[in-house]
Structure formats: structure tokens, C-alpha cells
Amino acid sequence: MVSKRERATKIVATLGPASSSPEMIKALYEAGVDVFRLNFSHGTQENHGRVLGAVRALEKEVGRPIGVLADLQGPKLRLGRFVDGFINLTAGTTIRFDTDTAPGDEKRVPIPHPEILEALHEGSTVLLDDGKVRVRVVKKGNGYIEAEVIAGNKLSNNKGFNVPDVLLPVSALTDKDRSDLFFALDLGVEWIALSFVQRPEDVIEAKELIQGRAQVNLKLEKPQAVEHLTRLTELSDSIMVARGDLGVELSLPEIPALQKRVIRESRRLGKPVIVATQMLESMISAPVPTRAEVSDVATAVYDGADAVMLSAESAAGQYPVEAVAMMDQIIKQVERDPGYRAIIESQRPDAGHSVADAVTQAAYQAALSIDAAAIVTYTLSGTTTLHAARERPRIPIVGIASQLSTARRLVMSYGVHVVHAPEEIHTFGEMATKATQVTVEHGFAKEGDKIAITAGVPFATPGTTNVLRLVTVDKSMATRKPRPEDKTDTLRPRAAAKSAGGAAVRSMPVADKAD
């Protein structure tokens, strides 16, 4: 029997120095990782290529699709250097920021980004070293600003800085990002994560470069992106709530409500959503998390996230496998809570108005009515399965994907057990037979159980979810290969009617039942 996860919420884990060996990658997968993240802010392209090779080898070994997300660094803004390596700042004093590359001191700080100085204005807030130092611009001149120190007392070389209240005149893709992007695409990753997106044009630019070779994961990190949340979610293929940088540029009390809002919006639009950053931070150096961290992971699960993510905990920590196992246990415990299902159901988005929405909702209701063991979705592009995941059903979703790239992408989605089945399906009979075989083989159904199947006809046509079929698992059907008579179960229209203008109108089967 093929192994399956006993939970609906997925786990994303970052690979790094502590977890880049084939043995460790396998241990992380066995502990519960569904998608691996390659962080291009660290490491070399050569190293990332080697790590991805190990993931692909593991995928062949276990016989299960594994997703890979390549996370681009983005335009990380950093200060220059200081004569003594650091300076001490005093609240209430004024300090100069300029583009002079000479090392700075207590009187001036070098910023090698003239375009940023140009965009700042009097009253702008500048956050240094992840917000540990805060200054406010009081004067602006040609190539420099003067700022009052509001908080903080020490600043060292090359620390990052953030400008939360200004739309920066920079692309979300640096020259390094473009190089890493094309390298990752050539490797064949499923997801490209975009960092420090500010506006819809940033996503459009990236998609033009990607040309459909991977899907876009939007990292929500900037307040400006929050202002365009709906449009950015529509443009992207998935969302990451990157709470680290959000917590620098927004006030910390705003983050929990924003997290819930992003999850609701992503679910409404049927896009997978990841909650990330500092989820089990203390497990970088401790074998167990804090109670607050456990509650943080649990909250994301109660909110209905598709996935939760580990960063430094799995990439550089001392207990990467334990961190994944802990996250796995937390998710399972939450999903066993009777109150969890009530919360998920109460957050169900309004029904869509497309045929796909209607069929998917009907499939879920029918599956509940007949106590189905699983909902089976046939998909080429992933759309049919994403519609099912949007419902957050209490019944497992078995997503049968004909393309391996689609199967790997769907691993990130809520409640989906993905199966790559490259065999072409031409008829309802073949569809029912294959669905039955897969659900039995993968441990979701047994003889006598019922399953609900959704698909689109014509088969192998993206975005055409229009068929619902209910099937009772029959032992002979679960074990036999398709027979010649299955070919007679064609997808011809059942009837043709005449429209007012006399043209023939084809009526495709939207619901079929076979017991």
C-alpha cells in the first residue's frame, strides 16, 4: 500500500546546511514534509541543483510526487559598512544617510541605493536591522537625508533596512533573481516564490519571464502589496504569508488579523496559501517548541491554511526532523478536534457561479450524503482538484493528474492526496475503473465503499470541470484492467436540442450515477 498523510494541511520545509544530504531529505519526508523549499537568498546555484537532484531521486524511490518551491531573494536593501564595524546610536540625535561608499561612523551611514534616497521624503520612517533601529526623515537634500533616531542603540555592517510607507522604485526581480529564476526553471521546479512584491506589475513581469514553466507563489511581505491583495491573489497561483518582513513593516498587532484575511481571500479565489516564518523558531536550538509556537501553528491550521512552513528550523537548526515531526503532530491534533471542522465549515466562501463550482459543490454534498470514502478528481492543469480543495472537505481528495508537473504542484493543496497517472482516459468506464483502482491501492476505499468522481469532458481539456459520477467500489472493477466494452461508454452528447435560432445545442452529461 502506498503511504498517505493522515492530515489535510500540508508541510513545507526549507532545505539548507542542516538538511541538504539525501539521508536527511529522506528523513524529513518521512517525518511529514510535502513540499521542499530552496532558499536562493543563501547557497549557490550549484548547491541548489544538487539538492534538487536528491529530492527527485527520493521521489522516484517513494513513488509519490514531491513539490519544490524556489524562493528568490528579491531586492534586499542593505546598508554599507562602518569604520569600526558598528556604531552606537542615541535616541533623539540626528544622523546623515548618503550614497558615499566610504565607511560610515556615528555621524553618517552609507546607503548604496540612490534611488531609495530619492524616493524618501520628510516624515518617512526607515527601519534598520529588522526594525531594531527606527529613524524618521527630518530633512532631504541632493543625494542625502537627515533622520532623527527614534529607537535603537547599535547598528552594524550591512544590516538590512525597510521603508514601510514608501512605494520603492525597484523591480521585485534583481539581476541575481533573474539568473536564479532561469536556473530554477531549467531545473524544473514547480513553484517560483517572489519576494518583496509591491504591486500587480511585479507579478505580471515575473509571469512574462516564466512563460508557464512554473507557477508563481506571491510572498506577502510589503504593506503596499496588502493594498492590492485581491488583484495580486488573482494574478498569482498561490500566496505565502511571510510574517517576518510583514512584522517589520507593519505593527505586530496587525499581523494575526491580516493572516486570517489573506487565508480567507486565497480560499475564496481557490489559491493555495502558506503561513510562514518563526512558526517553531525555538526549535532551531531546542528539541521542543514553546507553548506559544505550538499555538501559532495550530492557529494557522484552524484558520484553514493549505500549508504551514518551516524556515531556519529545518534549514539550519539542530533539530530539523524533530521540528517537522512536531508540526505534523500539531496539525493532526487540531484536525481531530471536533471544533476544527465547525470552524472550517463556518468559513466556507460563497459558492461560485461557474459550472465547475456547481459540480464541485454537488460532488461534496453528494459525497457526504452517501458517506463516500473519497472524492476523486481527474485533472490536467490542476483546476478540477483546486476547486475541490477550495471546499476544504472532511472527505479525502484523491487528485489523479496526468502530468507529473501538475501532480507535484497539487501536493501543496489542502486535503489532496496526489497520484500521477499518465495513462490517457477516454471514457466514463475507464475513468471509474481507474478511480476505483487508485482509491483501493492507496488505502482510501475498499470493496463496497462509494466514491465521488469529478472530471472535465472532453478529457485532457484544462478548466472543464463538468462531470460528477458516483461509483460503488466493486472488487472486480478495482483489480481488472479496462475492457473493450468500456470503450462503448463514450462521451457523446445524450441529446441534441434546437435553439431558438435552429442551431443544434449539445447537452453534455453533468451528473452520472453508477452503483
Concerning whether 44 is annotated as a catalytic residue, the answer is no
Short-list 308, 249, 219, 214, CA closest to 39:
219
User: Measured between alpha carbons, how far is 405 from 189 in angstroms, rounded to an integer?
Assistant: 9
Q: Is the model's pLDDT at 364 over the cut of 70? A: yes
Q: Span 355-514: which CATH code?
A: 3.40.1380.20
* Cα within 13 Å of Cα(237), Cβ side: 23
Class of the 86-162 domain? mainly beta
Strands (DSSP E) found in 228-290 = 238-242, 273-276
Q: Please tell me the pTM assigned to this model.
A: 0.89
Q: Kindly tell me the burial class for residue 485, based on how many C-beta atoms sit within 10 Å of its own C-beta (0-12, 13-18, 19 or more).
A: exposed
Q: What is the mean pLDDT of residues 226-250?
A: 94
Q: Which amino acid is at 100?
A: D
* 264 catalytic per annotation: no
d(Cα 399, Cα 396) in Å, to the nearest integer? 10
Q: Which fold has domain 10-75+171-338?
A: TIM Barrel (3.20.20)
**Residue of 219, 267, 408, 409 marked catalytic:** 219
For 314-360, write each residue's pLDDT tens digit: 999 999 999 999 999 999 999 999 999 999 999 888 877 788 888 88
Residue range 468-495, pLDDT digits in tens: 899 999 876 656 555 544 443 433 333 3
Residue % of the chain over a pLDDT of 90: 73
Instruction: Pick the catalytic residue from 26, 56, 76, 78.
Output: 78
Q: Strand 108-110 and strand 94-98: pairing?
A: parallel
For residue 456, the model assigns a pLDDT of 78
In this prediction, residues 242-262 reach a mean pLDDT of: 93
Q: Is-contact 255 372, C-beta < 8 A?
A: no
**Residue 335, amino acid:** E
Q: For residue 296, what pLDDT is reported?
A: 98
Helix (H, G, I), strand (E, B), or coil: what is residue 311?
A: coil
The predicted-structure confidence for 435-449, as pLDDT tens digits, reads as follows 999 999 999 999 999
Which three cell numbers mark 88?
Answer: 552606537
User: pLDDT at position 212, please?
Assistant: 95
Given a cut of 60, whether residue 363 has pLDDT beyond it is yes
Task: Count other Cβ atoms within 10 Å, centred on residue 227.
Answer: 12
Report the distance separating Cα 411 and Cα 430, nearest Å.
24
pLDDT in tens, 201-217: 999 999 999 999 999 99
Which contacts qualify for 52-55: CB closer than 8 Å, 24 or more apart? 52/187, 52/189, 54/20, 54/21, 54/22, 54/25, 55/15, 55/25
pLDDT of residue 501: 32
Q: What is the pLDDT of residues 287-312, one digit of tens each?
A: 999 999 999 999 999 999 999 999 99
pLDDT value of residue 401: 94
Same fold, 86-162 and 355-514: no
In the annotation, is 498 catalytic? no
User: CB-hemisphere CA count at 13 Å for 512?
Assistant: 23
Residue type at position 105: D
The domain spans of the chain are 10-75+171-338, 86-162, 355-514
Please state, as a whole number, how many other Cβ atoms lie within 10 Å of the Cβ of residue 342.
10
Of residues 162, 227, 158, 217, the one with CA closest to residue 37: 217
pLDDT at 81 over 70: yes
pLDDT 10s digits, 16-71: 999 999 999 999 999 999 999 999 999 999 999 999 999 999 999 999 999 999 99
Q: What is the pLDDT of residues 138-163, one digit of tens each?
A: 999 999 999 999 998 899 999 988 88
Cell numbers that stand for 403 in this block: 502530468
Task: Given the residues 9, 14, 233, 277, select the one marked as catalytic.
Answer: 277
277 part of the active site? yes
Instruction: Name the catalytic one among 37, 64, 108, 409.
Output: 37
Q: Is residue 266 scored above 80 in pLDDT?
A: yes
Half-sphere exposure of 458 (CA within 13 A, CB side): 4
